[in-house]
Amino acid sequence: MEKLYEKKQLGKTEIAIPPVIFGTSCLGNLYQALSDDMKLDIMRQWFECVDTPVVIDTAGKYGAGLALEVIGDGLRKLGIQPGQIIISNKLGWFRTELKTPEPLFEPGVWKDLRHNAVQKINYKGILECWEQGCELLGGHYKTNIVSVHDPDEYLAQADSKRERNKRFTDIIDAYNALFELK
């Protein structure tokens, strides 16, 4: 397959990205649980469609961290070197123990999960999500791009003006944590 495109600089960073960034929610069993072989084949196709480094977007919310685990395991199985992939991880959802028949976040959306996830949008929570994301990737691959996932949903959950103000401060603190990670 011929790959015709030009990579572009991402803002003021040294990161050059192709015009296609691959999503990974399906690796976290969004709507259906794909087989391990199919998930590995999806990842293989990334590298057949785009010159390296391939750019992917993921999140701790995707399958309560399952997508991050699948990515780390799959990249190792495919023999992908860290320099061949750029990982964008949206932070703000933290894997927890599953104590109910299905996860409590987005009921009915995620299939066959073994964990739950909770929002942790504040300074400490973002750093905890970062650390957990690195662990779930298996330590060999790193996140190159970070953002805050679902701050609008977090703010919308406020049930009073006081709670909204607190959540707004939490969001500002979450962005301050991103600057620290930078």
pLDDT tens, position by position, 76-132: 999 999 999 999 999 999 999 999 999 999 999 999 999 999 999 999 999 999 999
pLDDT of residue 1: 55
Does residue 5 surpass a pLDDT of 80?
A: no
Q: What stretches of 16-160 show up as alpha helix (H) in DSSP?
A: 36-49, 66-78, 123-136, 151-156
Query: 165 Cβ partners below 8 Å, 6+ apart?
Result: none
* Mean of all residue pLDDT scores within the chain: 94
Closest Cα partner for 119 from 110, 111, 131, 128?
128
39 has pLDDT over 70: yes
pLDDT digits (tens, 9 = 90+) for 44-76: 999 998 889 999 999 999 999 999 999 999 999
Which domains occur in the chain, in start order? 8-181 (3.20.20.100)
* Distance of alpha carbon 112 from alpha carbon 103, whole angstroms: 9
From residue 132, how far is each of 1, 64, 88 by CA, in Å? 36, 11, 14
Q: pLDDT exceeding 70 applies to what percent of the chain? A: 97
What would the two tokens of residue 170 be? 């939490």
